[in-house]
Amino acid sequence: MNTSEYIEQAESGLLHTYNRYPIVFDHGDGVYLYDIENKKYLDFVSGIGVYALGYNVKEYNDALKAQIDKILHTSNYYYSVPLVNATKKLTKFAHMDRVFFTNSGAEAVEGAIKAAIKYAYNKDGSHDHEIIAMDHSFHGRTCGALAVTGKQAYREAFEPLICEVRFATYNDLDSVRSLINKKTCAVIMETVQGEGGIYPGTKEFIEGVSKLCKENDILLILDEIQCGMGRTGYAYAWHAYDVQPDIMTTAKAVGGGVPVGAFLLTQKVADNSLIAGDHGSTYGGNPFVCTAIDKVLDLFESEHIIDNVGEVGNYLYEKLDELCKEYDCMKEHRGVGCMQGIEFDIPVADIINSCLKKGLVLINAGTNVLRFLPPLVIKKEHVDEMLTILKAALDETIA
C-alpha cells in the first residue's frame, strides 16, 4: 500500500483524538527518520523528547533483544535483575531515594499526586486538601494529571476531577504565596514548562517556591517528564537550582523509546505516604522496560550525553538567536539546552508543514511557538542543516 492508503485505513479504525501529519514513518537511524517511501527527515522532535539517544542504537537494541529472549514480564509479586539495576541507577542519577515505575508520564503524575495526598492524610487525618499547580502547565491527560494541568479547555468537559486545585502564575512567586493556606498539601510544576510554550523556571521562582514549601510543610512535586534526562544540560533540570523536590516525575527519554515512566520520592515522603496496597501497576517496572532504563543510563554515561547537550545546546541557542534577528515575525526565543522554542506573532502550522515537505520534523508548543526537541546526540552540523531547511520554509510561508 502507498501512504494515502495506509492513512485511509488507519483513519477508518482509529479514534480521532490526534490531528496527525500525513506521513507514515517506517524506520530511523541516528537523528534521521525515514517514511515508507524512504524519504529522509532530520528529526528535531525525537518523539516529543523520547528518543534522546537517537534511532537504531546497537547497544540499546541488543540489550532489549537479549531480554526478550529471557523474559518480558513477571508482575510485581517478584524481583528481577533489570528491576534492581534500574532502581539503583535511576535513584542515583536523579538524586532521589525511592522509585515507583509506571507505564507513562501521566501515570507517574498520578502516583505523585496520590503520594502527596496520602502524606497529607497521614499528617492530619483530613480528606480536605488542596494542590497548587501552574497556569499553562501540562501534566497529562488522565483525570488526576488533567486536574493539575493549567489549561481550562483541556479540563472543562471532564470536571469535577480530583481534590481542589488552585492555579498560580509560573515564574511569579507572589502568585504562589497568595494561594497557600492550611489545606495546601503540595505544589506541582514543571521545572521547565514544555507544552505551555517553553518557559524555564527562574532561579528566584524555583528556589522561592521550594522555600515556601519548606516553611509551610508542603510537598514540592517537580515534573521532569519532558525537561529531564539531560535535555537542559543537567541530569534533571532541577539540579541546576538549590532545591530538593519531595517528589519528582520522569518518563519519555528515561526508556529511550520503550513506554515507561516513574515517580521518585525522598526517604521522608516514602516513609510517610504510600504503603503496600495503596498503589500498583501490572506492567510497571517489568524486566523489559527496566532493561531499557538500565541501558539508557549506561549510554548516557559512556556517550557523555549531558556534556554534548551543553555544547550543542549552546550552539543551537546562539543560532536561533541569530535567526530571530532576521525575521520580524519572531517575538521571543526561550529555552535551554536541547529544549528551546521561538514564539511568533503568527501561527506556526504552515511553517511546520513546509518543513515537513522539505525533510525537517518540528512541532509546536501552542499555536504560535515553534518547538525544538532534537535527540540529545545531535551535532553542530545537524543544527546547521536544520537552520537551512527552516529558513527555506520561513521564506516560503511568510513571504
The span from the CA of 306 to the CA of 230, in Å, is 5
Position 124 scores a pLDDT of: 95
Residues in the chain: 399
- Centre a 10 Å sphere on the Cβ of residue 160 and count the other Cβ atoms it contains: 9
- Domain ranges in the chain? 3-53+304-397, 59-302
pLDDT tens for residues 307-342?
999 999 999 999 999 999 999 999 999 999 999 999
Contacts of 158 (CB under 8 A, 6+ apart): 143, 146
Cell reading at 271: 516513609
The span from the CA of 263 to the CA of 242, in Å, is 20
The answer to whether the beta carbons of residues 58 and 66 sit under 8 Å apart is no
Domain at 3-53+304-397, CATH from 3.40.50.11540, 2.40.50.140, 3.30.70.270, 3.90.1150.10: 3.90.1150.10
pLDDT tens for residues 172-210?
999 999 999 999 999 999 999 999 999 999 999 999 999
The answer to whether the beta carbons of residues 362 and 355 sit under 8 Å apart is yes
Position 18 scores a pLDDT of: 93
Q: Which is nearest to 63 in space by CA: 87, 82, 84?
A: 82
Position 161 scores a pLDDT of: 86
Backbone angles phi, psi at 151, to 5 degrees: -130, 105
Collect the ranges in the chain with pLDDT lower than 50. none
Class of domain 59-302: alpha beta
**pTM recorded for the entire structure:** 0.97
